[in-house]
């Protein structure tokens, strides 16, 4: 079975982009050429790897299994090439809308001191695993648990919640708020599958008057800053996003949000365990 790296890269790109058009642009090749490459791969593997029944392509169960192996193979090749060139491949840390909050900068500094020969790159990726299952990152910071048995999930700390208000809102002057204080507000939520705020956060008798969905964290901040809604978010959001039009006020009476480090059980970078261990130590020592 003569499977080449170009076949693996084609499948990984299709899984990441969800369309032939996007994947072809990602790989800088024509759409017909990419379609031929995918057909060749499926013929040589002897299985359908991509479901074509909808405009948005999806991996079949066989494709999901093959994709996981392809990501690991490509990562191993990249590692080997980097080592041969005496330049290790960067370790990639992904997040959806907030990294490790107040611990992010201490972790990056500690990594640079401990492993100066291995760059650590931080990427924001707007999907449920911050690009981890698509092979875009090696480790992810998440605040919801991904339902994927191929991933190892570890709670690294818990984060308090904050109310996010327009800068001129009367409640923005309060030292702290509780859920009942938001009864007359419209609550903005982010519809990415990774939200930590939902109507179920409120008891029925104090539930806000309305909820509105936004598509990403940028839309969410813009809506709040313009006075169209308020939001509830883990404290890490304030450390990752500095928006001048909003104020963050501590929210009391609610459980904190667990923050997870997530990485593949089949490592995509050999330095992943070092990053996980260093993150544990940095969090245990508190922000510096």
Answer for the pair 195, 170: CB distance below 8 angstroms, yes or no: no
Domains, the chain, ordered by start: 5-84 (1.10.10.10), 91-158+258-285 (3.40.190.10), 161-255 (3.40.190.10)
User: What is residue 266's predicted lDDT score, i.e. its pLDDT?
Assistant: 85
User: What is residue 16's predicted lDDT score, i.e. its pLDDT?
Assistant: 80
Average pLDDT of each block of 10 consecutive residues along the chain (288 residues)?
84 85 86 90 88 77 86 78 70 93 95 94 89 88 89 96 96 95 94 83 91 91 95 93 92 96 91 96 80
User: What is residue 85's predicted lDDT score, i.e. its pLDDT?
Assistant: 60
Cα gap 241→217, rounded to integer Å: 9
User: What is residue 131's predicted lDDT score, i.e. its pLDDT?
Assistant: 87
Beta strands of the chain (E only): which ranges?
Answer: 50-51, 58-59, 91-95, 120-124, 139-142, 151-159, 161-166, 186-190, 210-214, 231-234, 246-250, 257-264
User: What is residue 87's predicted lDDT score, i.e. its pLDDT?
Assistant: 66
User: What is residue 180's predicted lDDT score, i.e. its pLDDT?
Assistant: 95
User: What is residue 27's predicted lDDT score, i.e. its pLDDT?
Assistant: 87
């Amino acid at each position: 079975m003569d499977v080449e790296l170009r076949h693996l890269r084609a499948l990984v790109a299709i899984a990441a982009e969800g369309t032939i058009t996007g994947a072809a642009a990602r790989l800088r090749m024509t759409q017909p050429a990419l379609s031929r490459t995918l057909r060749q791969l499926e013929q040589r593997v002897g299985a359908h790897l991509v479901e074509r029944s909808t405009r948005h392509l999806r991996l079949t169960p066989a494709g999901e299994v093959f994709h996981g192996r392809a990501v690991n193979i490509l990562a191993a090749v990249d590692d080997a090439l980097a080592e041969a060139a005496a330049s290790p491949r960067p370790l990639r840390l992904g997040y959806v809308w907030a990294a490790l909050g107040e611990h992010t900068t201490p972790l990056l500094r500690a990594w640079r001191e401990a492993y100066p020969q291995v760059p650590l790159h931080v990427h924001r990726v707007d999907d449920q695993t911050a690009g981890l299952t698509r092979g875009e990152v090696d480790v992810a910071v998440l605040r919801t648990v991904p339902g994927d048995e191929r991933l190892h999930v570890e709670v690294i700390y818990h984060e308090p919640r904050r109310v996010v208000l327009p800068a001129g809102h009367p409640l923005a002057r309060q030292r702290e708020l509780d859920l009942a204080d938001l009864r007359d507000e419209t609550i903005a939520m982010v519809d990415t599958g990774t939200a930590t705020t939902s109507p179920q956060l409120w008891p029925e008798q104090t539930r806000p008057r309305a909820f509105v969905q936004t598509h990403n964290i940028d839309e969410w901040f813009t809506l709040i800053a313009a006075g169209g809604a308020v939001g509830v978010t883990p404290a890490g959001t304030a450390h990752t996003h500095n928006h001048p039009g909003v104020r963050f006020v501590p929210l009391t009476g609610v459980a904190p949000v667990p923050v997870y480090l997530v990485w593949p059980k089949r490592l995509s970078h050999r330095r992943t365990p070092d990053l996980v261990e260093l993150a544990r130590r940095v969090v245990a020592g508190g922000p510096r």
